[in-house]
Amino acid sequence: MGMRVTKKPNFGKYKKRIQKSNEILFSVAEGTITGIIKRTQSGKDKNLKGFRPYSKNTPKSGRVTLTDGGTMLQSINRKKIKNGVKLFFPNTNEAKKAFHNHKTLKRPFFGLDKKQLEQIKIRLGKAIVKTRGR
C-alpha cells in the first residue's frame, strides 16, 4: 500500500551539472516535506483548496488539518532514488492513515502544489547556475 506523487520532477538531465547533488536534492526534499506539512496544517489540500469537512457522524468539529494525533505528517520521509528523491510514509500505520485520508476521504494532501513546484524549479535552477561557471 503506497501513494505516489504523480508528477515527479526529472532531475536526471541536471545531475551532472549539480555539485553536491545529493545534498541539494535532500535539502529540496526537506523543504517540500515542510511545505506539505504546513499547507496541510493550514487546512489546504495539494490543490490549495480547503479539505472536505468532517462527516456529521464524526465527533470532531472545526477545520480539517489531518493532525489529530500529530504523527502521520511528521512521519513523511525521503529516500534517494535514481534521478531524484522519493517522499513516502515508512511506517505502515501512518501510511494507512495517509492513504485513508488521501484516497478514501478524498482529502488529497500528499503531493506538490503549484507554489512548491515553482520553488523546486527555482532552487534547482540556482544550483545549476552556480555550477555552470566552474
Q: Is the pTM of this model over 0.85?
A: no
Q: Kindly tell me the burial class for residue 98, based on how many C-beta atoms sit within 10 Å of its own C-beta (0-12, 13-18, 19 or more).
A: buried
Task: Tell me the C-alpha distance between 113 and 86, whole Å.
Answer: 16
- Name residues of the chain where pLDDT drops below 70: 1-20, 61, 128-134
Task: Tell me the C-alpha distance between 64 and 126, whole Å.
Answer: 36
pLDDT per residue over 44-79, tens digit each? 999 999 998 887 777 776 788 888 777 999 999 999
The predicted structure's pLDDT at residue 132:
55
What 3 state SS string does the chain have?
CCCCCCCCCCCCCCHHHCCCHHHHHHHHHHHHHHHHHHHHHCCECCCCCECCCCCCCCCCCCCCCCCCCCCCHHHCEEEEECCEEEEECCCHHHHHHHHHHHHHCCCCCCCCCHHHHHHHHHHHHHHHHHHHCC
